[in-house]
Amino acid sequence: MTAGTHSAEEITLARLPSGVALTTTVHTYRGVDDGPTLYVQAAQHGREVNGAEVLRRFHDRLPLDSLSGTVLAVPVANPLTFDLVSYITPEEFDSVNPNMNRVWPGDPSGSLHQRMAARLWEIISQADAIVDLHTGSPDMLPHVVYREGDDRSRDLAEAFGTDLLLSEEAGEDAPEEWHRRGFAGKLRVAAAEEDIPSITPELAHNKQILEDVVEDGVDGLCSVLRALEMLPGDVPDRDRTVARNHLGQVTASQSGLFRPEPGLELGQFVPEGTAIGTVYDPASYEPRQEAAADRDGVLYALTREATVIAGDQLASIALVRED
């Protein structure tokens, strides 16, 4: 019996103005039998570190000798934002496209992020399925986002197994704001355009390694491999809520200190009008905004960074589609 193999290759994503090469590592796991190719990456927003830790543990746990097909894994898709522990890249590096997840499939002669994406896309475009690991801001309920109406992507999202699945409208179906915010350039969306099923797990919040969430991430990834018949075994059936991501988040209409309503819990159903919290003037103590849910739905994110400016997101509420 032949054995599965692992290899790691350092590739150059782009060059910085000084000539320094921006590199990252691509892990390749080849199974004993033929099968699909799964591409998985983490940390294209560098402060979103739970995914990188998921891939380290996945590396230790993947049973190579029962793998069919190939897994390509990039734990640090964006080394620049990783080193800055940031979400976006400062103007000095990319004054055109600060957010890497708005430029896919990239452009080899474009801005820095476009070049980085284009280099990774050479690898990604060989894949039969894609998992792009992200995290949100505190507090966020772990969930998986997939394209509304895309059954193959939905199957992967269900296999990953978070309690909440969010479908997102894309392309012609999407609202104007979706286009204005450049969401068509997300990796998941660009891949779906190429007919590659793809999901975006959002593994709780950034900057911290959260033990439970990382374990769920490793289990979720192995479960995706089972759904693709790359590993033996069945995908467990789970109870879940399917909701639709909507762009009309509860936002701050005033700047100040935001105190979330005590007792609110992520994952709870909130009817329209439910109090979310209060934005205060920290100097005069005057309440400036009583924030409330703008519709019925599942509360899946609530900001804990209390100093807010007008326009900041305070909470995210998803419309429930199926229970």
Which positions touch Zn ion (CB under 5 A)? 45, 48, 134
Q: How many angstroms from the chain centroid is the CA of residue 43?
A: 9
Provide the minimum distance between the beta carbon of 201 and Zn ion in the complex, in angstroms, as a whole number: 10
Least distance CB 27 / Zn ion (angstroms): 20
Sequence-distant (6+) residues with CB within 8 A of 212 are none
Angle 151-160/211-227 helices, nearest 10 degrees? Answer: 140
Cβ at position 119, least distance to Zn ion in Å? 19
Q: Which is nearer to Zn ion, 157 or 291 (CB)?
A: 157
d(CA 126, CA 72): 10
Q: How far apart are CA 11 and CA 31, in angstroms?
A: 22
Smallest separation, CB 64 to Zn ion (Å): 29
The least CB distance from residue 134 to Zn ion, in Å, is: 3
User: Residue 273: which region, alpha, beta or left (left: phi > 0; alpha: psi -120 to 50)?
Assistant: left
Q: Select from 47, 244, 74, 72 the least CA-distant residue to 157.
A: 244
Are the CB atoms for 158 and 165 separated by under 8 Å? Answer: yes
To Zn ion, the closest distance from the beta carbon of 133 in angstroms equals: 9
Nearer to Zn ion by Cβ, of 153 and 274: the residue is: 153
| CB of 13 or CB of 270, closer to Zn ion | 13
The first and second tokens of residue 176, run together, are 């104007």
User: Where on the phi/psi map is residue 178: left (φ > 0), alpha (ψ -120 to 50), or beta?
Assistant: alpha
Token representation of residue 208: 């911290």
Distances (CA, A) of 281 to 4, 215, 275, 313, 316: 61, 41, 18, 17, 23
Nearer to Zn ion, 30 or 45 (CB): 45
Nearer of residues 102 and 134 to Zn ion, judged by Cβ: 134
Contact 203, 221 (CB under 8 A): no
Minimum CB distance to Zn ion, residue 47 (Å): 9
Query: Smallest distance, Å, CB 56 to Zn ion?
Result: 18
Q: Looking at beta carbons only, is 63 or 90 nearer to Zn ion?
A: 90
CA angle at 196 for the pair 193 and 197, rounded to the nearest 5°: 105
If the CB atoms of residues 45 and 154 are measured against Zn ion, the closer one turns out to be 45
Task: Tell me whether residue 51 or residue 69 sits nearer to Zn ion (CB atom).
Answer: 51
Sign of the torsion angle spanned by Cα atoms 186, 187, 190, 195: negative
Closest CA to 135 of 301, 259, 256: 301
In the chain, % helix, strand, coil (3-state, to 5) comes to 25, 35, 40
